[in-house]
Amino acid sequence: MTAPDKALDNYMQEILDVGGGETMTARIAALPLWQRRLLAVGLALLVLVIVLVLVGRPLWQLQAANTERIDALEFELQRFQAAAAARPELEQRRAELRARQNRGGYLSGNRPTLAAADLQRQVRSAVTTGEGTLVSTQVLPNESVEGFQRVSLRIRVRGDVEMLRSVLYSLETGTPYLLVDNLRIRVWTSGRRQGGIEAGDLDVYFDVYGYLVAGEVS
């Protein structure tokens, strides 16, 4: 028996002594040499796999957690970069809005009460031009919106379709810039008229509002 074969027999004997069992020892000793070599290699590979599982799995889990954390940080970085890239455009838009105020785009007056009075004057003028009747006006609570003070009125007017078209066009296309919201139309008829819409058959309700720059409100 050569020296390598003798070493292999000693290695197999140590494994069998640990596991116990003389019967198993005798069976393996009776195997041909090439089968004993193959068995020894298989046992060595099994030990290696067990070591890799016990040691490698925690390392793999740690690597996966680190990868997930890196992905989350990269996503946050992209968000911050996008916000930083958008800042010049936002600053430009803010400057444009400031410039529009100087061109008469916002309500006049440095107080919401004065601005509301000016807004009522504009609504009354639009209704008169449209040959309608201004039934009522109500000043709504002011709101702060992104650096601006919104001044709003709740309006009720009466007239025909042409009056409504004229009023809305006048308010939304003139200066200062006004917006109409919550538009509601009710058709009423007297006891003498039934059926289609005629002059004077519309009750119109809507909110209209404009803006003051909050930093200049006193």
Is the pLDDT assigned to residue 38 strictly greater than 90?
no
- The pLDDT value given to residue 134: 92
Is the pLDDT assigned to residue 202 strictly greater than 60?
yes
Is the pLDDT assigned to residue 207 strictly greater than 90?
yes
Give me 190's structure tokens: 């007297």
Name the least confident of 71-75, 151-155, 203-207.
71-75
pLDDT band at 47 (very low <50, low <70, confident <90, very high): confident
Give me 88's structure tokens: 């010049």
Tell me, letter by letter, the H, E, C secondary structure of the chain.
CCHHHHHHHHHHHHHHHHHCCHHHHHHHHCCCHHHHHHHHHHHHHHHHHHHHHHHHHHHHHHHHHHHHHHHHHHHHHHHHHHHHHHHHHHHHHHHHHHHHHHCCCCCCCCCHHHHHHHHHHHHHHHHHHCCCEEEEEEECCCEEECCEEEEEEEEEEEECHHHHHHHHHHHHHCCCCCEEEEEEEEECCCCCCCCCCCCCCEEEEEEEEEEEEHHHCC
Domains in the chain with CATH codes: 112-216 (3.30.70.60)
- Tens digit of each residue's pLDDT (9 = 90 or more) over 83-93: 788 888 878 77
pLDDT band at 31 (very low <50, low <70, confident <90, very high): low
- The pLDDT value given to residue 194: 47
Cα torsion angle, 104, 106, 109, 113, sign: positive
pTM score, two decimals?
A: 0.48
- Tens digit of each residue's pLDDT (9 = 90 or more) over 104-124: 677 877 788 888 998 999 999
Q: CA 63 to CA 99: how far, in whole Å?
A: 55
Is the pLDDT assigned to residue 171 strictly greater than 70?
yes
